[in-house]
Every structure is written in structure tokens, then in C-alpha cells.
Amino acid sequence: MELLFLGTGAGTPSRQRNVTSIALNLQGVRGGCWLFDCGEGTQHQIMRSQVKTGKIDKIFITHLHGDHIFGLPGLLTSRSMNGISETLTVYGPAGIKAFIETTLSLSGSWLTFPLDVVEIEAGELFNDEHFRVTAYPLTHPLACYGYRIEEHDKPGALDAARLLADGIKPGALFQRLKSGQTVTMENGRVVKGKDYLGPPTKGLTLAIFGDTSPTPAASELAANADIMVHEATLEAALEEKANGRGHSSTVQAATAAKQAGAKRLIVTHLSSRYLREDGERLLAECRAIFPNTEMAYDFSVFRF
């Protein structure tokens, strides 16, 4: 899997940072791509990236501020114009359905694909064969959520040599045993797949925060996460200003990662007041608290 940051700015776009959108490429686990927020200009950023619009099957909106949703109507209509027919699911706070329906209606737009809009509350959103996704409420002027994505553990490797030694021949039976099934053979022998599997591979956990000032939910949302993505809108000296607008400073983002026991922190959502050359200074503020911090720029890719 990998995270591709399509926009890493806060509030308004700048020459160096577009507003928020993050793509989670699910390669190696399942087909498709998930998008987290869709600020203005996101589809332009997509065209400059490896993301394929037709591969996006879920969009998670953290909240309804414009820098997180104003690119959504354009992306949906372009998807139709490109003849994409696969279902798309959009998750977001109450009001996201009205926003989509109103913008499409007033602009005379229509969709050629099934669109499922799910207005969320805190709690589990879904739990399929690959992932469990849970929404956590954050602290912001509008209802805002962070998303915890937990990959299920993968079964251990099948001990084929031991199966052969026990007189079990390779073939379709091996696939069933690899999935952990219990199989009754023609001679009546019962073979339990779990007896021939190595230790499972632990799945990855990602915590993707929306906009927030320091919040008690952070420790649960990002508890022991392999990857934590958190806003760092302003530097430590402007912490009071950041908090007054429902945002966090560099130091507060790093502190949240440390308290949650996260393994790796990626900071994003930087104010347009900062230029690229300011990045190292802001990153140093984070690393003084949480050394394993990286900063996202537009088109940064983090593989894991």
C-alpha cells in the first residue's frame, strides 16, 4: 500500500501546496484506491499523479469546510464524462448528501454510475474481508472526523513440505488449507488448515486525522498506529492562534503521536504562509518531540 498526498495546504491553495486530499493506493491488498478529502483542484492534481479516477471506489470526507470538499462535485461529474460505471461510495458528516445533491442539481449535472452517500457518526463504518474502518470525532468548529483503517492480519505461510510429508498431495486442496479451512479427505481423514499455517502477519493500521485542535480522541484513533497522518497548520509560536481556529501546531501534532504510541508520523495541512524553505524548521519542531516524523508535500508518496 502507499499514501499519495495530492494536496497538503490549509485553507487556501498556494503556489506550492494545493488544498487537502490524500489517496490511499491499496495495491498488494485489493484493487482500488481510497480518497480522503477532495479539496478544490483535486482532479487536476490527480491528472499529474499515478492515481486513476476510475480506480477510486471510496471517498472519505473528514468535514464540510470548503478546502476539503469543493473539488468533489467536479470529480464526480468528470468521472461520469469519462464513462466510468463502477459504484462509488462517499462517507462524510451529516450534510454531505445535501451538498452533493444540491451542487449536481443546480449545475444541471448527472451521474452515470451508482453513487452511495453514507452520512456518518462516530463508530465502525464497515468491516470487510480486508479492512475495518472506524470514524472518531475530532475538535473543530464543524463536525469533523478522523479515520482509523485497520488491515486484518494475514494468514501465515502454508507449510507445504509438512503437508507432503504427511501424505497430502498438492493441488486445489492446498488453497483451502491455506485459507485455514478444515477439510475431510476421501479416506475420511480430517485435516485442519490452521495446523499447517505459520504465524500470521500482522496487518497495518493507519490513522488519518481531519482538522483538529488537541483532542482526547487522538490517543484512541491513533493508538499504536503504524502510520499517523496529522495536521500541523501552524508553528509552535502560533499555537494559540491555531487552537482558536480548531487547528494544531507542529508540537501538538508530534505530542499527539507520542502519546498515542504511533510508530510513524506524517504531518500535512500547512498554512499557506509557509514556503517550502520553511519546511525543515517546522519539521525540526516536530522531531524534537517525535523523532520519526516526516512532512508531506504535494505528490509525496509514502510506501509501507
DSSP code per residue over 228-294: EEEE--B-GGGHHHHHHTT--BHHHHHHHHHHHT-S-EEEE-EETT--GGGHHHHHHHHHTT-SSEE
* Amino acid in position 56: I
User: Does the annotation list 140 as a binding residue?
Assistant: yes
User: Does the annotation list 65 as a binding residue?
Assistant: yes
User: Does the annotation list 63 as a binding residue?
Assistant: yes
User: Does the annotation list 67 as a binding residue?
Assistant: yes
Whether residue 116 lies in the annotated active site: no
**Assigned C-alpha cell, 215:** 483532542
**Assigned C-alpha cell, 101:** 445533491
Q: Report CA dihedral (200, 201, 205, 206) to the nearest 10 degrees.
A: -150
- How many angstroms separate the CA atoms of 264 and 227, rounded? 5
Contact 249, 213 (CB under 8 A): no
3-class SS of residue 76: helix
User: Does the annotation list 152 as a binding residue?
Assistant: no
Active-site pick, 67, 159, 166, 278: 67
Polymer length in residues for the chain? 304
Binding-site annotation, residues: 63, 65, 67-68, 140, 211, 269
What residues are designated binding site for Zn(2+)? 63, 65, 67-68, 140, 211, 269
Catalytic residues: 67
